[in-house]
Homo-oligomer: A and B are copies of this chain.
């Protein structure tokens, strides 16, 4: 078992992909999988799979492969998804509502337990997901009561930084930001951005320059 090696960000992304493929393999009745097979399924190099896993321990059996179920459990531990996480969503427009109800998230243990907006016409209503839309002013209180650890921003760009600051005050230190705004947070906070236009720009760039497919995160 290694210690204190710096782990590439891409390794974590891949672990998430490995996990998903392991779920499918288990569903298909596989008990064992080799790094070669798993790599093939995830469109990466087999050595990459072994190296990625090697950062965290020795999970395989030499000459045999990896136990599908055991490896799933190990990756869940590594990604800290061996338990549920409570999410708050701010900005209950079309996108916010979609995420609020997104089955993939729920199944994987990401529970959207609170919804906020500033629009008085929305506040007090029950979202189709069955969750009451609250005034953003209540964020701090609700975050504490419901033990919310991840905040999701689905507001327009102009509101994003303000919401990030409010998350900070509510001791929500991890943010998933769907707005195209780039958020500034203190060192202790985490932000991941999902920006549709950036990803589309990547596609159009490649289309415009006749670049052929590599793998993509």
Hey, which chain B residues are within 8 Å of A43, CB to CB? Answer: 182, 184
CA distance A15 to B206 in the complex (A): 13
Hey, which chain B residues are within 8 Å of A191, CB to CB? Answer: 213, 216
- A146 on the B face (CB < 8 A): no
B199 and A176: CB pair below 8 A? yes
- How many subunits of this chain does the assembly comprise? 2
Which residue of A182, A184, A197 has the most chain B CB atoms within 10 A of its CB atom? A197
- A48 on the B face (CB < 8 A): no
Q: Which of A63-97 contact B (CB under 8 A)?
A: 78-81, 85, 93-95, 97
B199 and A194: CB pair below 8 A? yes
Shortest A199–chain B CB gap in Å is 5
Hey, which chain B residues are within 8 Å of A188, CB to CB? Answer: 212-213
Shortest A33–chain B CB gap in Å is 15
CA distance A201 to B75 in the complex (A): 10
- A170 on the B face (CB < 8 A): no
Hey, which chain B residues are within 8 Å of A93, CB to CB? Answer: 98
A105 and B197: CB pair below 8 A? yes
A80-B205, A212-B188, A216-B192 in contact; A94/B101 too (CB < 8 A)? yes
A207 and B190: CB pair below 8 A? yes
Which residue of A21, A185, A199 has the most chain B CB atoms within 10 A of its CB atom? A199
CA distance A68 to B198 in the complex (A): 19
- A9 on the B face (CB < 8 A): yes
Find the B residue at minimum CB distance from A107: B197
Hey, which chain B residues are within 8 Å of A150, CB to CB? Answer: 200, 203-204, 207
Q: CB within 8 A of A104: which of B149, B197, B208?
A: B197
A98-B95, A174-B206, A207-B149 in contact; A213/B201 too (CB < 8 A)? no
Given A94-B101, A104-B157, A198-B217, 20 further pairs, Cβ under 8 A: A9-B202, A12-B205, A16-B195, A42-B182, A79-B205, A85-B200, A94-B128, A99-B196, A104-B180, A104-B196, A105-B200, A173-B207, A174-B207, A188-B212, A188-B213, A190-B203, A190-B211, A190-B212, A192-B216, A193-B217
